[in-house]
Amino acid sequence: MSQPDLPIIEPFRIKSVEPIRMTTREERERHVAEAEGNLFRIPAKNVLIDLLTDSGTGAMSSAQWGAVLRGDESYAGSPSYERFEQSVHELFGFEHVIPTHQGRAAEHILFQTLGGPGLVFPNNTHFDTTRANIESTGAAALDLPCAESADTRSTFPFKGNMDLDALEGLLEREKGNVPLVMMTVTNNGAGGQAVAIDNLRAVRAICDSHGVPLFIDACRFAENAWLVKQRDPAWAEKDVREIVRATFEVADGCTMSAKKDGLANIGGFLAVRDRDLARELRQRLVVTEGFPTYGGMSGRDLEAVAQGLTEVIEEDYLAYRQASIAYVCDRLDERGIPVVLPAGGHAIFLDAARFLPHVPWSKFPGQALAIELYLEGGIRSCEIGSLMMGRKDEDGNELPAAHELVRLAIPRRTYTQSHMDYLIAIIERVWQRRSEIGGVEITFEPPVLRHFGASFRSVPAAQPEVSGRT
């Protein structure tokens, strides 16, 4: 276990390395122009430190690579599935385990089965693919974050919580129209913030009083459990496995992207308690993903996830993981650079609205800042603001998101503290010239998940604008 009076140490040795390429400012300017301002379009070979996402971008362990060689590729009844199923069952406690190729496939199957026009799915905060999968059925995706999450400077330890009064009111108003309530742990859209066990239990009680199931988006379940252990005295002496069990014992099911806390490069699953629902989900799975004992995953990937689920709850790993995030977050905060506090479980979130107060939300300050980080130092990050999370009214007018953030998602077991020091230095450089940075305008956007495919043009910083945010 790491000691607080000693520096961060990565609890692993590096066994294989991959070179990363330095680029010049001139090259990066050309790459941004060719990508029309969309960092998703920049080839990875032209990125120095890639913090676009922590999903599937981490390093697997030697034990996982060993398990890959054991992978059995039988179409039906593979022993690799049996090991995968046992690993999920032992950790999460659900009777029925349905593999999928990644988390959004699990969401698609779940909401295609339970969604439809006129229905409402509440969540503490839906992330992009969850919302898209719900809305594709004609249903509404409603965010009910706790009040504390509104203040990015607040150090309230569980800003990922759900607003209990809002949930109670919704279930009263929408009787019969809420197929399930979902909780995302950690709350990615609100800054990677932790969800308290007490809040989960209170949500469960409200669901029970209305006869509504509770599901958990489990992508970062281990990181949430570690934050609970660190921040809630009632759980400080419990081991992470016990906290994980307490998290999921209140739920009727979960969706999971194993590309996060499965420590794998691909994979996911649906897990439920209800046998009849499991049968229906498996029938839909066969149409889009594959036979229920592989569900779009190869045997080797089933093995990698099964092993990853045992490694992700190791406390030395989780202590290092959280310390790495906090290391960057705290040093930026000390320099007066606006970040979401407290440090989350998987990423550092810059508050772009405070970083670039002269750029109105309608000019997407998060996207503008993300572009500048790439131009300055080859760092790729992701906007989580009015580009990704914003909505449009009935007349097609843009509405602002709750926050304008830039997420620096740290891939697991991939970068060292030296990379983090470089990251801090680049952000500080951009901070020093923040008044020179203008916004961006959309020149093209797809109808769904627009941030993946949109094109942009720059807006000079000197251009006068009036923000619509109140």
- Return the pLDDT at 88: 98
- Return the pLDDT at 7: 85
* C-alpha span between 59 and 48 (Å, rounded): 16
Mean pLDDT value of segment 227-246? 98
Residue whose entry in the numeric block shows the structure tokens 């992701």: 382
- Return the pLDDT at 449: 83
- Return the pLDDT at 3: 64
One-letter amino acid at 127 equals F
Mean pLDDT value of segment 422-448? 95
144-183 burial, b if ≥16 CB within 10 A, otherwise e?
A: bbbebbeebeeebbbbbbbbeebbbebbeebeeebbbbbb
- Return the pLDDT at 462: 58
pLDDT-derived band at 214 (thresholds 50, 70, 90) equals: very high
pLDDT-derived band at 389 (thresholds 50, 70, 90) equals: confident
Model confidence pLDDT, tens digit, residues 27-57? 999 999 999 999 999 999 999 999 999 999 9
- Return the pLDDT at 1: 52
Model confidence pLDDT, tens digit, residues 66-102? 999 999 999 999 999 999 999 999 999 999 999 999 9
One-letter amino acid at 350 equals L
Mean pLDDT value of segment 187-211? 96
Helix 417-432 vs helix 315-334: angle between axes, to the nearest 10 degrees? 20
Q: Is the pLDDT of residue 2 over 80?
A: no
Are the beta carbons of 365 and 353 closer than 8 angstroms?
Answer: yes
Q: What percent of the chain has pLDDT over 90?
A: 89
pLDDT-derived band at 4 (thresholds 50, 70, 90) equals: low
One-letter amino acid at 95 equals E
Q: Structure tokens of 236?
A: 């400080």
Closest residue by Cα to residue 458 from 361, 367, 355 = 367
* C-alpha span between 1 and 458 (Å, rounded): 47
**CB-based contacts of 53: which residues, under 8 Å, 6+ apart?**
382, 409
CATH numbers and ranges of domains, the chain: 25-54+315-458 (3.90.1150.10), 62-311 (3.40.640.10)
- Return the pLDDT at 468: 46
Are the beta carbons of 401 and 389 closer than 8 angstroms?
Answer: yes
- Return the pLDDT at 6: 82
- Return the pLDDT at 381: 98
459: left (phi over 0), alpha (psi -120 to 50) or beta: beta
Mean pLDDT value of segment 181-191? 94
Out of 110-119, 182-191, 387-396, the most confident range is 110-119
Q: Structure tokens of 283?
A: 């029938």
Higher pLDDT, 3 or 238: 238
Q: Is the pLDDT of residue 465 over 70?
A: no
Q: Structure tokens of 155?
A: 């150090």
Are the beta carbons of 296 and 205 closer than 8 angstroms?
Answer: no
**What letter would DSSP give residue 9?**
-
Are the beta carbons of 361 and 373 closer than 8 angstroms?
Answer: no
- Return the pLDDT at 467: 47
Mean pLDDT value of segment 332-337? 98
Mean pLDDT value of segment 311-319? 98
Q: What percent of the chain has pLDDT over 70?
A: 97
One-letter amino acid at 309 equals L
- Return the pLDDT at 418: 96
